[in-house]
Structure 1
Amino acid sequence: LEGLSAEEMDAILEFAFQRYFNDSGMFGTVDDGLVRAEQLKRIGVDEIACLIDYGIATDKVMAGLKPLADVLRRANAGGAPAENDHSIAAQIIRHGVTHLQCTPSMAQMMVTNDEARGALARVKSLMIGGEALPGRLSRELREATQAQIQNMYGPTETTIWSTTHVLQNAEATTAPIGTPIANTQVHVLDAAHQPLPIGAAGELWIGGDGVTRGYWKRAELTAERFIDDPFIGTGRLYGTGDLVRMDADGLLHFEGRADAQVKIRGHRIELGEVEARLSDLPGVRQAVAVLRDDAGHSGARLVGYVVADTPVDSDGARRQLAAHLPDIMVPHVIVSLPAMPLTPNKKIDRKALPAPTERRAERAANAQEAPPSDGSQAAIAQVWGTLLGIGDIRGTDNFFALGGHSLLAVQAHRDIKEALSLNTLAITDIFRFPTLAGLAAHIDGAGGKTSAPVVAPPIVDTPARSETMSKRRMMRAGRGRGQS
């Protein structure tokens, strides 16, 4: 610094001070301070200290406390969600939610969103169920909230919850499903319905007051899944199809499915039914459906693999399947293979099935529309492409037709708000404007009431602020030259 001229020193100090003034602490206007306070509140900060620097006259300091008091008042009085904000974070804050029940898929989306993560800090009891709870997610939840976290387990046939486990730590690869609730019995049985020893994996059978009477007008399926309880002599047991093991403490640990059922976003589906529909597609000779959780994608995806006389058009096949299957059972993508990979025992090696490559949105051969290169459409297309694993997205493409669903819509809403610096985009807008062009027009104000992207309020160069800045520059310049 000693080699700098006075002009260079002043320029550097001016630049450094401007960065400090604009980017750090509670500086600027009341609106600046309020914006910063709200940012800190979103990440769980509940107290902010104010540092009063030396070298400023007492009357200036006292005058400066008045706008800080205004920031304090407005920050504590404000923070209410916007009326059109229907996000999970807004609902928790708006209704003072203390008990929350959701699937691990939804919980994962909450811990990756700053606003939702901050709202979780308000929750006192968190009940997770519907899918296996990964240890990584349970650790993230524990970091986000001091709430009691329960891993809940139970099928519809036993009136939903049958076992529960309060998480004490999060070291397990998958959280235990725990011990039975009141008036419920659990048994780990082999194929002959005989009890298995501690530590051995077997099918979970559930008995007790929650077991239902069976399936309506489906006597064969009822006889297959429900048996008389041989252990207490009354009532019945329901075979869940889930593989579990019981440890020495009596805790049940989920090991996977005994059949081809999987759970997607809390819904239990039969892969065999999906595979049967895939096999019905014209020219298909062999079909497999698997649930994949590849890195870089938002949660597990149902993927279909087919061996056919000619390559199968993925989007066209998905439309055909949608006529016969619920949306949750339509594969996200259908991959054509020359042959299925096989194990040494000549069974299909599901683990060796390749990860799907990035899809391109389907369009007519004579389509003249070009993909967006800038503006709101380009930003939204980037978000959609990342979430859906799709390239070449254009204005007429529909988020849900491309494979989006309600949970991905929540994440798309979060990512679009962040990418475009919006604070007024409602989650319902993703559903109201499902096409790329429609949503972009709504955001840009051409087709809706959404405000323009929010920018930081301009800093007003008041005389008091200018005087303070000049005095600080003089003080710092003096220090830099070794003056006292």
Structure 2
Amino acid sequence: MEFGMFMWGNDDAPGREKYKLMLDGAKYFDENGFDSVWTPERHFSAFGGPYPNPAVTCAALAAITKNVAIRSGSIVSPLHHPVRIAEDWSVIDNLSDGRVGLSFAAGWQPNDFIIKPENHKNNKQVMLDQIETVKKLWRGEGVEFENPMGDMVEVFTLPRPVQKELPVWLTTAGNPESYRQAGAKGVNVLTHLLGQNIEEVTEKIRIYREARKEAGLDPAAGKVTLMLHTFVGECNDEVREIVREPMKEYLRSAMKLVIDFAWSFPAFKRPGGQDAKVEDINIKNLSAEETDTILDFAFERYFENSGLFGTVETCNKMIDRCKGAEIDEIACLLDFGVETDAVMQSLPLLKEVRDSANALADIPESEQELDQTLPAQLERHEVTHFQCTPSMARMLSFDPEARQQMGKLKHMMVGGEAFPNALAKDLKEILNGRLTNMYGPTETTIWSTTQEVEDPGNIPIGRPIANTDIYILDENRQPTPIGVPGDLFIGGQGVVRGYLNRPDLTDERFIPNPFKDDGSRMYWTGDLAKYRDDGVIEFLGRIDHQVKIRGYRIELGEIEAMLGNHEAVRDCVLLLREDNPGDQRLVAYMVPQGAAPDANDIREHLRKNLPEYMVPNDVVILDAMPLTPNGKLDRKQLPVPGTSQSATAEYEAPEDQLQETIVNIWQETLHLDKIGVKDNFFDLGGHSLLIVRVHQLLKEQVEKPISLTDLYRFPTIKSLTEFLNSDDQNKSLKKSSDRASRRRERMGLRKRGRK
């Protein structure tokens, strides 16, 4: 998003002081990376009075700046001869070393046309014709004009400008036809929010882009500049009071300007539409009180919705709205009556708004266009050492490009959750370098032990790292013999102070270290472990049945308690299973109270109070829980899911080849024999790891482009294929392409504007 300075204030300051803000502001914008400065053309009224000819003011700005673009905002071209326009601005283009840009306006105030009364009747067409004439003269082409003797004379203007092509804007107060004409002519647009709102501007910009496309031009290449009254401060309420009276006086001046020629002002909306007559509403005879009431209301609406007012955070919200409307540049109107010193003091905050709006644009374009996928970054940065969770490693192992780059690593470290043997086996086949299992809870500053993986079938957690002590203790908190399981405690310098605002849990988990005399503590992990003969530690599982699945630590008891609240559940237990290597599944086993409930009802009951990752993949209905001889639950006897009640929708067979292909991929991935097109992938046991595999298979077998995001948005085969066969997919792809195209174009425009 580009930012410029726009001037259009009243003639209300003595002598040279009326230009102080213009000159000082231009210097600040020039020295602080802003993009442009604009001055208008206004005649015979205090409103805009300091600017009767933008060529004069812009010549002054060209002399005191080095970087910003120098632009008319606007030149009322029907009041000028096109030769004069081309020659005047060619001088400024030379003075500024090629920084000129012109916005053309048709004019509307009848009194202005005493300068050229013959152009008033057809002012709009005169302006459109002049744009083409000035562009030809600028390029050095000869243009014929009639001299006093009636002869046609071919004219070439001097001096020759620096820029080969003149950057041109068309100024519009909101007429959709003007947007269409600007698009057809391939020129930029300058507009404002006096008489129109952002939503209306958005629709008109769509008209503009479409007109460019119909003219055979790049729709995204045209620039839309929006003028906004601007003042940024530390507090929204303070800003409101600072700008209230100046803004009301500014609007009052504008009101006086239009009051005699209300219907001539393009931004003045006619009550009753374009066919309304002047006598339909009488704004000229409003009392002072009525006028002030209107101005109060106008100010409040303008402050909230039509200006760049308030704190940096508040202004950022307005900028986001402008970005959403595909506006390319904000022209910040500064001289609407706030004291010059106050405006100058506010500019660093405006710079913060500009910087925030362009956080991405400040990244070199070459870096923006780089492939930012993990495999591409591994290759680009020649990564030698890489650390990730087992879940991430599994996802990468599904990607052929990632597998290739992982093969170049010297050392891969995997930790954060239990390291599955099947995954370790796959990684050993992929990697040419070392593979290390990393163990350690967050409470001991991440890693506590490490072990290089040599045998994928046996993955211990290894030995403690430097400054770390490991204790495996029995129920009396005495060290266990080698080979005997016990509670795993961690001591040393990595142990944190405790849990924030949870003193009871801190006291329970962080206890004085009885094996040290230095007052240190050790952390009770809740993990079960044992020492091998060689001093290496083997991890045996969680003592409290707390599990970790795909990066989430889950208390199975919490799910069991929630499930037990269902009226149809008599008894239940949760288990984390891995019956297929690498496929962890959360399984709910339940004994019903009476008739067996529908599995989908059970899952929806849990979803009301639990996040999706805590909702079981499978629901298994049992007549009774398996028990050990002494009457305790025998978890080892809980059956493999398959006897569960299906958590699927009513079966609907695939209707075409695309649906059949996806059904086959799902069945292969989920290890299910029958899947209908209305079944939800995640209700069938799918999760983020499996969906990555589905995505890879779809890319290989389906010609239509499918993004990973699409699989999350459309979790049933029916909804996914409807999307793939609809226009929405093409629109989605085009929107993504258009965004990239606009970004490249804007970066190019920004660079050219600063030359």
Deviations 1:418-470 (A, max 9, x none): 33367x5332332344342343245456431499xxxxxxxxxxxxxxxxxxx
Work out which of the residue numbers 114, 137, 154 in structure 1 matches 2:440.
154
Residue 266 of structure 1 and its aligned partner are, at CA, apart by 2.7
Deviations 1:57-85 (A, max 9, x none): xxxxxxxxxxxxxxxxxxxxxxxxxx898
Aligned equivalent of 1:370: 652
Aligned equivalent of 1:145: 431
2:590, 2:621 within 8 Å by CA — same for their partners in 1?
Answer: yes
In 2, Cα distance between equivalents of 1:336 and 1:104: 31
Deviations 1:40-72 (A, max 9, x none): xxxxxxxxxxxxxxxxxxxxxxxxxxxxxxxxx
Work out which of the residue numbers 412, 434, 437 in structure 2 matches 1:126.
412
In 1, Cα distance between equivalents of 2:569 and 2:610: 18
Aligned equivalent of 2:486: 202
Work out which of the residue numbers 693, 696, 704 in structure 2 matches 1:411.
693
Q: 1:361 to 1:259 in 2, by over 3 A?
A: closer
SS in 1 for 2:587: strand
1:298, 1:408 within 8 Å by CA — same for their partners in 2?
Answer: no
Q: 1:138 to 1:393 in 2, by over 3 A?
A: closer
Corresponding letter in the other structure for 1:281: H
1:370, 1:394 within 8 Å by CA — same for their partners in 2?
Answer: yes
Corresponding letter in the other structure for 1:429: D
Aligned equivalent of 1:76: none
Residue 104 of structure 1 and its aligned partner are, at CA, apart by 2.3
Do residues 427 (structure 1) and 708 (structure 2) align?
yes
Superposed CA RMSD: 2.8
2:398, 2:693 within 8 Å by CA — same for their partners in 1?
Answer: no
Residue 258 of structure 1 and its aligned partner are, at CA, apart by 1.8
2:648, 2:683 within 8 Å by CA — same for their partners in 1?
Answer: no
Q: Which has the higher contact order (CA 8 A, sep 6+)?
A: 1
Q: 1:254 to 1:195 in 2, by over 3 A?
A: same
Residue 188 of structure 1 and its aligned partner are, at CA, apart by 0.9
Residue 338 of structure 1 and its aligned partner are, at CA, apart by 1.0
Q: 1:441 to 1:388 in 2, by over 3 A?
A: same
325-334 or 413-422: bigger deviation: 413-422
Name the TM-score, length of structure 2 as normaliser.
0.44
In 1, Cα distance between equivalents of 2:635 and 2:370: 45
Work out which of the residue numbers 202, 212, 231 in structure 1 matches 2:515.
231
Q: 1:426 to 1:154 in 2, by over 3 A?
A: same
Aligned length: 361
Aligned equivalent of 1:253: 538
Residue 246 of structure 1 and its aligned partner are, at CA, apart by 1.9
Corresponding letter in the other structure for 2:652: A
Q: 1:396 to 1:102 in 2, by over 3 A?
A: same
In 2, Cα distance between equivalents of 1:96 and 1:319: 46
Structure whose alpha-carbon radius of gyration is higher? 2
Corresponding letter in the other structure for 1:206: I
1:361, 1:390 within 8 Å by CA — same for their partners in 2?
Answer: no
Aligned equivalent of 1:463: none
In 1, Cα distance between equivalents of 2:654 and 2:396: 30
Work out which of the residue numbers 207, 222, 230 in structure 1 matches 2:506.
222
Residue 155 of structure 1 and its aligned partner are, at CA, apart by 0.9
In 2, Cα distance between equivalents of 1:242 and 1:336: 30
239-248 or 86-95: bigger deviation: 86-95
98-107 or 266-275: bigger deviation: 98-107
Corresponding letter in the other structure for 2:387: Q
Gaps of 5+ in 1: 1-82, 452-484
In 2, Cα distance between equivalents of 1:183 and 1:119: 34
2:619, 2:645 within 8 Å by CA — same for their partners in 1?
Answer: no
Residue 312 of structure 1 and its aligned partner are, at CA, apart by 2.2
Deviations 1:113-155 (A, max 9, x none): 4333222112232111122224443233122111221110011
Aligned equivalent of 2:281: none
Residue 387 of structure 1 and its aligned partner are, at CA, apart by 3.2
Corresponding letter in the other structure for 1:406: S
2:585, 2:685 within 8 Å by CA — same for their partners in 1?
Answer: no
Q: 1:446 to 1:84 in 2, by over 3 A?
A: farther
Q: How does 1:86-125 map to 2 (within 5 A)?
A: 88-93=374-379, 96-125=382-411
Q: How does 1:298-313 map to 2 (within 5 A)?
A: 299-309=583-593, 310-313=595-598
SS in 1 for 2:728: coil
In 1, Cα distance between equivalents of 2:381 and 2:702: 28
1:177, 1:254 within 8 Å by CA — same for their partners in 2?
Answer: yes
Aligned equivalent of 2:22: none
2:386, 2:411 within 8 Å by CA — same for their partners in 1?
Answer: yes
2:617, 2:682 within 8 Å by CA — same for their partners in 1?
Answer: no
Aligned equivalent of 2:568: 283
86-95 or 315-324: bigger deviation: 86-95
Aligned equivalent of 1:384: 666
1:359, 1:391 within 8 Å by CA — same for their partners in 2?
Answer: no
Corresponding letter in the other structure for 1:378: E
In 2, Cα distance between equivalents of 1:91 and 1:438: 33
1:158, 1:238 within 8 Å by CA — same for their partners in 2?
Answer: yes
Q: Percent identity?
A: 47
Do residues 326 (structure 1) and 611 (structure 2) align?
yes
SS in 1 for 2:559: helix
Name the TM-score, length of structure 1 as normaliser.
0.67
In 2, Cα distance between equivalents of 1:156 and 1:340: 35
Q: 1:437 to 1:96 in 2, by over 3 A?
A: farther
Work out which of the residue numbers 237, 246, 265 in structure 1 matches 2:550.
265
Q: Which has the higher helix share?
A: 2
Q: 1:373 to 1:123 in 2, by over 3 A?
A: farther
2:652, 2:678 within 8 Å by CA — same for their partners in 1?
Answer: no
Residue 189 of structure 1 and its aligned partner are, at CA, apart by 0.8
2:620, 2:645 within 8 Å by CA — same for their partners in 1?
Answer: no
Gaps of 5+ in 2: 1-368, 734-755
In 2, Cα distance between equivalents of 1:411 and 1:86: 20
Do residues 180 (structure 1) and 180 (structure 2) align?
no
